Amino acid sequence: MMKQVLGVRAEQRLAILGRLRMADWIEMPEREFAREIERVEKDPLFCKLYHGSPGLPSAIRRRRWPGGKLAAGFYEVDESRVSAGERVDVEGSLDARRGVMPLIRKMGRQAFERYFLHADEAVPLGEIARRTGLPESDILKVHELLLEIGAQSEFAGAPKAAATTRGTTCLARLTMEEGKPGFEFVAPYWARGLYQVRYDDLESWKTSGSLDGPERRRLRHLLKRLETLNLRQSTIFRIMEAMSVIQSDFLRSRKDEDLRPVSLRLLARRLQLSPSTVSRALAHRTVRLPWGPEVPMIFMVPGQRHVLKDVVRLWLAADPASTDAALARRLKLERGIDVSRRTVNAVRHALHKDRELHSE
């Protein structure tokens, strides 16, 4: 019995440690995370399994995000962004993109996205070179520069909005197409999606003897690393996708009063995550709205009081004589927000205090 109890406690400690490590990964700044991606993808074992070899298929592929693609701005090199304040952050990225853009133009955007961005087909570098008519050295250069762009600057292709603070990262421009959310990712490492390990093909590598002793010993570590990278990215994406669905009316109408009230706790419960995980994922990250402005991700998760103030302010401006009971009924009928007359009265008083403060 004692051994069983000790075993359970050990499992609990491991689970807690796992959650703490994932919290660190979620909180990790995007630029630092991009360097982790670069380290993994420059690992010779990863390259071997990702690109495949004659007679052996690629054992690591990619799976796109639903509605995700690379922002068109990535293909434009904006020299004006290298100002005195941004030089350290942006200049290295511009240099990398200057080097890769002529090669992308030579092979064509469609081929670039097919072979490098989404890896729709498992093709060794030599075969990509043959198909695109570029030297294999250039093909390798595209792959390496693509990683450097993400690691040097997470803002590649998206000018920073003046309204946001330094130290934040714009992940994507949100879109709404046929009622479904879309995501135009700023950085290539985001647009590429998740790693997909094909274990049947991996078994072929093992049984063929194509992996030597050190590679076989490092394989488990590499797969664990890919799993961690995937879990981090999928957690953040699920949050971004969920808040886009919840706020679909706002994204269509462009009116602040159409923002739906949603708490971190509610969003966490919907996604079966802890509120602290959601909070960490939202911190220091922004998204660009379909019509242009860049906003903190937390803007898309407004509390009920914030939404009530916006809506009641608008309705009182049109009809100052509205009673609290009438406003409560209207909130339930038109907005699906079920609150008491007393709550509406508290919001009315808060708006009155706001006006007094602004008039001083």
Q: Which of 89-93, 94-98, 184-188, 225-229 has the lowest mean pLDDT?
A: 89-93
Considering the domain architecture, whether residues 274 and 227 belong to the same structural domain is answered as yes
> What's the mean per-residue pLDDT of the chain?
81
Considering the domain architecture, whether residues 78 and 122 belong to the same structural domain is answered as yes
7 part of a folded domain: no
Dihedral (Cα; 62, 236, 155, 110), 10-degree rounding: 30
Considering the domain architecture, whether residues 209 and 336 belong to the same structural domain is answered as no
Boundaries of domain holding 124: 21-253+264-300
High-pLDDT (> 70) share of the chain, %: 81
Cα distances from 41 to residues 38, 47, 120, 144, 237, in angstroms, run 5, 6, 17, 9, 21
1 part of a folded domain: no
For 278, residues 6+ apart whose C-beta sits below 8 A from its C-beta are 239, 264, 267, 268, 271, 301
Considering the domain architecture, whether residues 287 and 324 belong to the same structural domain is answered as no
- CA dist 329 and 341 (Å) reads 9
Considering the domain architecture, whether residues 185 and 101 belong to the same structural domain is answered as yes
355 part of a folded domain: yes
Mind listing the pLDDT tens digit for each residue in 292-323? 999 999 999 887 776 777 777 888 888 888 88
Pairing of strands 194-197, 180-185: unpaired
What is the total residue count of the chain? 360
Q: What is the 8-class DSSP label of residue 213?
A: H
Considering the domain architecture, whether residues 62 and 113 belong to the same structural domain is answered as yes
* Cross-strand bridge partners of residue 181: 176
CB 172 within 8 A of CB 71: yes
11 part of a folded domain: no
Gyration radius of the chain's alpha carbons: 25
- CA dist 218 and 228 (Å) reads 16
352 part of a folded domain: yes
Mind listing the pLDDT tens digit for each residue in 128-147? 899 999 998 888 888 887 77
CB 128 within 8 A of CB 50: no
CB 278 within 8 A of CB 290: no
Mind listing the pLDDT tens digit for each residue in 39-90? 999 999 999 999 888 788 889 999 999 999 999 888 876 544 444 444 334 4
pLDDT band at 346 (very low <50, low <70, confident <90, very high): confident
pLDDT band at 360 (very low <50, low <70, confident <90, very high): low
CB 285 within 8 A of CB 301: no
Considering the domain architecture, whether residues 233 and 353 belong to the same structural domain is answered as no
- pLDDT greater than 90 at residue 123: no
Considering the domain architecture, whether residues 329 and 243 belong to the same structural domain is answered as no
Dihedral (Cα; 106, 170, 236, 302), 10-degree rounding: -150
Considering the domain architecture, whether residues 246 and 132 belong to the same structural domain is answered as yes
Considering the domain architecture, whether residues 52 and 74 belong to the same structural domain is answered as yes
- pLDDT greater than 80 at residue 161: no
**Whole-number pLDDT of residue 261:** 85
Report DSSP letters for 214-267, one per residue: HHHHHHHHHHHHHHHHHHHHHHHHHHHHHHHHHTHHHHHH--GGGPPP--HHHH
Mind listing the pLDDT tens digit for each residue in 198-216? 999 999 999 998 999 999 9
For 67, residues 6+ apart whose C-beta sits below 8 A from its C-beta are 175, 177, 180, 181, 182, 183, 241
9 part of a folded domain: no
Read off the pTM: 0.79
Residue 246, both tokens: 């919840």
343 part of a folded domain: yes
**Whole-number pLDDT of residue 319:** 85
Considering the domain architecture, whether residues 192 and 315 belong to the same structural domain is answered as no
Considering the domain architecture, whether residues 246 and 310 belong to the same structural domain is answered as no
Domain tally, the chain: 2
3 part of a folded domain: no
Residue 255's Cβ-count burial label (10 Å; 0-12, 13-18, 19+) is exposed
- CA dist 206 and 216 (Å) reads 8
Q: Where are the alpha helices (DSSP H) in the chain?
A: 2-27, 30-41, 44-51, 87-107, 109-112, 125-132, 136-152, 188-191, 199-207, 213-246, 248-253, 264-271, 275-282, 304-318, 324-330, 341-359
